[in-house]
Structure 1
Amino acid sequence: MQTLYITHPACHLHEMGSWHPECPERLDAINDQFLASGIAGLLRSCEAREASESDLLRVHTHAHLDFLKKHVPSSGYFEVDPDTYMNPHTLAASLAAAGAGLTAVDEIMNRQAQNAFCAVRPPGHHARPDQAMGFCFLNNIGVTVAYALEKYNLGKVAIIDFDVHHGNGTAEMFASDSRVLMCSFYQNLIFPNVHTEKKSENMLNIPVEAYATGEVVRKLISDHWLPRLQAFEPEFIFVSAGFDAHREDELAQLGLVENDYAWITEQIVAQAEASAQGRVVSFLEGGYNLSALGRSAVAHVKALAKL
């Protein structure tokens, strides 16, 4: 079975100003590198369906959805916070981004694909149940995990987040849910600065110091993530794939390179094969140096597809 590549035209229409690093060109950079590397023709492409309100309400509040609907501008931008803006297409793009994961889960559970990469934006892992923040409006991975747990009656799933910023919204949604194990690393003391986050037994979210290299991160994963994942034996693995820990990305100060993302993905695939019938859905999160983003996404998807 092939790796599924999922996106949607609406994801290209959301933008927050020419100055903003979370821009439509991020998807162009990934697509260009997929074509240049030759892997585009080896993946099966699929357009995301939109998430429904009932899908969103598993993890978001009515008040949050009403806020987003109310503030879609007819033109220009609505400022949610100093980093996060809505344009006339933001809500449609967010519904498609959240729906990409639902599409992926159905395709995989129906044995039409082995795993999937969702090249979607806006990203999602900072979106809280009742708040948009950090470039995120709806929590794409949270919506998808809740859907998979309910529709397919899964007993144990894992969330892996290797974005340089902590997935605070995702952690808030699933803290203390014994069906979910979340493993992440993130750069300490940068946005969203979660040092006061309440500890939960099912959350293995590990801060690392600025300028840590890929070698440091690989040891962290080997020593902490992998034993917990092996003991937990997830039936499905979901990935928040942010590539902003790359050493060329200027929004943070970690030192990963493409080979590190390939290695991390190989560990995820190995665990998925051991306990989850190979089932993985990965979502684009951060990554703002366009060249590094495209190259890293290629490394990630090649490892997913075993190319």
Structure 2
Amino acid sequence: MTVSIYTHVRCLDHDPGADHPESPARLAAVLDALADPRYAGVERIEAPRALREQLARVHRSEMIDVILTQEPQSGFHRLDADTVMSPGSAEAALRAAGAVCAAVDAAIDGRRRRAFCAVRPPGHHATPSVPMGFCLFNSVAVGAAHALVQHGLARVAIVDFDVHHGNGTQDIFWNDARVMYASSHQSPLYPGTGARGETGAGNIVNAPLSAGSGSAEFRQAYETIVLPALEAFAPQLVMISAGFDAHRLDPLASLQLTGDDYAWVTARLVELADRHALGRIVSSLEGGYSLEGLREATLAHVDALSR
């Protein structure tokens, strides 16, 4: 298989509490799915910690300090109503961002063209200055900035099919035409951003979907909005914010996608990366709160990345 898996056991240590949807059981379900015998030959790489200089390309110093210094020794520290830190949260967030940066390095130098980062906490709601929406560091944004600065790329695309709009990623790259951020998401829904008219420097592409939308609406949005924009952009690296909470089983939203839809969109992005980016794709887990849906979507996504 052509895909590699980046993960770290410390990503299971971030524990926002028994009733919180963003639980360690999510990553355990993903890793359980990837234990399938057909992935026996897949290379597994232990995620390093992100460096502060990598984080500082997209996050303000004060925010980094909050996450690195306010982790509780026991119990919980609530950053907002939804975003909670526990013992081990900072390490998990550092490993999540570090996984994406390491995967970017390997994709660009040709060692591993495609990667799936099985990590948590998610990241796409984290803005330059605010951790929010279950997210601490914006791992995919950190990886994209790493590709620009460390490797000198001129065009990086981030495709986000999480059911929630990635307001943080959009905010970070709003005026940076080197990065195209393209998102499909349910609207209206948290965090309330992602309208078609939000276009940044011409590099932001939003494809909002109404509640109840399923395969037909999702695929039409990609065929008519997202994929043509990506084709015109001709990215040198494709990154994916792989949220699986648009799955029909997910309890936090009401889109109706299935594993076949995740396989389809991933296959289309693989084709695009093969045309423009030497096949280079780095995907990282975002949301997804049905364990059954996570397993199904993960298998579909990683299978399509492997072709």
Q: Give the TM bin, normalised by the shorter chain.
A: over 0.9
Structure 1 position 247 matched with structure 2 position 248: yes
In the other structure, the counterpart of 2:28 is: 28
Which stretch of the first structure deviates more once superposed, 121-130 or 38-47?
Answer: 38-47
In the other structure, the counterpart of 2:44 is: 45
Summarize deviations over 1:58-93 as a string: whole Å, max 9, x none: 000011012222311111000111111100100010
Residue 97 of structure 2 contacts residue 140 of structure 2 at CA under 8 Å; is this kept in 1? Answer: yes
In the other structure, the counterpart of 1:260 is: 261
Task: Report the Cα offset of residue 198 of structure 1.
Answer: 4.8
In the other structure, the counterpart of 1:206 is: 207
Please report the TM-score for the alignment, with normalisation by the length of structure 2: 0.97
Residue 194 of structure 2 contacts residue 206 of structure 2 at CA under 8 Å; is this kept in 1? Answer: no
In the other structure, the counterpart of 1:275 is: 276
Summarize deviations over 1:4-58 as a string: whole Å, max 9, x none: 100011101111011111111111111222223x332131110111001111000
> What is the CA–CA distance in structure 1 between the aligned matches of 2:17 and 2:89, rounded to whole Å?
12
Tell me, what secondary structure is at the counterpart of 2:40? helix
Question: How many residue pairs are counted as aligned between the two chains?
Answer: 305
Summarize deviations over 1:124-160 as a string: whole Å, max 9, x none: 0000111010000000001000001111110111110
Residue 236 of structure 1 contacts residue 280 of structure 1 at CA under 8 Å; is this kept in 2? Answer: yes
Tell me, what secondary structure is at the counterpart of 1:42? coil
Structure 1 position 138 matched with structure 2 position 117: no
Summarize deviations over 1:214-245 as a string: whole Å, max 9, x none: 11110110011111111111000000000000
In the other structure, the counterpart of 1:154 is: 153
Residue 189 of structure 1 contacts residue 195 of structure 1 at CA under 8 Å; is this kept in 2? Answer: no
Structure 1 position 230 matched with structure 2 position 231: yes
> What is the CA–CA distance in structure 1 between the aligned matches of 2:68 and 2:243, rounded to whole Å?
27
Tell me, what secondary structure is at the counterpart of 1:39? helix
Map of 1:66-215 to 2, 5 A cutoff? 66-194=65-193, 198-200=198-200, 201-215=202-216
Aligned residues with identical type, % of pairs: 43
Tell me, what secondary structure is at the counterpart of 1:142? helix
Question: Structure 2 counterpart of 1:143, which letter?
Answer: V
Summarize deviations over 1:247-267 as a string: whole Å, max 9, x none: 010100000000000000001
Unaligned runs of 5+ in 1: none
Tell me, what secondary structure is at the counterpart of 2:262? helix
> What is the CA–CA distance in structure 2 between the aligned matches of 1:218 and 1:275, rounded to whole Å?
21
> What is the CA–CA distance in structure 1 between the aligned matches of 2:174 and 2:155, rounded to whole Å?
14
Structure 1 position 288 matched with structure 2 position 289: yes
Residue 39 of structure 1 contacts residue 302 of structure 1 at CA under 8 Å; is this kept in 2? Answer: no
> What is the CA–CA distance in structure 2 between the aligned matches of 1:70 and 1:41, rounded to whole Å?
39
Task: Report the Cα offset of residue 101 of structure 1.
Answer: 0.6
Residue 78 of structure 2 contacts residue 85 of structure 2 at CA under 8 Å; is this kept in 1? Answer: yes
Tell me, what secondary structure is at the counterpart of 1:105? helix
> What is the CA–CA distance in structure 2 between the aligned matches of 1:195 and 1:123, rounded to whole Å?
18
> What is the CA–CA distance in structure 2 between the aligned matches of 1:238 and 1:155, rounded to whole Å?
14
Q: Which 4+ runs in 1 deviate beyond 3 A?
A: 195-199
Assess, with a 3 A threshold, how the Cα gap between structure 1 residues 195 and 161 changes in structure 2: closer, same or farther: closer
Residue 60 of structure 1 contacts residue 129 of structure 1 at CA under 8 Å; is this kept in 2? Answer: yes
Question: Structure 2 counterpart of 1:139, which letter?
Answer: N
Assess, with a 3 A threshold, how the Cα gap between structure 1 residues 107 and 217 changes in structure 2: closer, same or farther: same
Unaligned runs of 5+ in 2: none
In the other structure, the counterpart of 1:2 is: 2
Tell me, what secondary structure is at the counterpart of 1:243? coil
Tell me, what secondary structure is at the counterpart of 2:177? coil
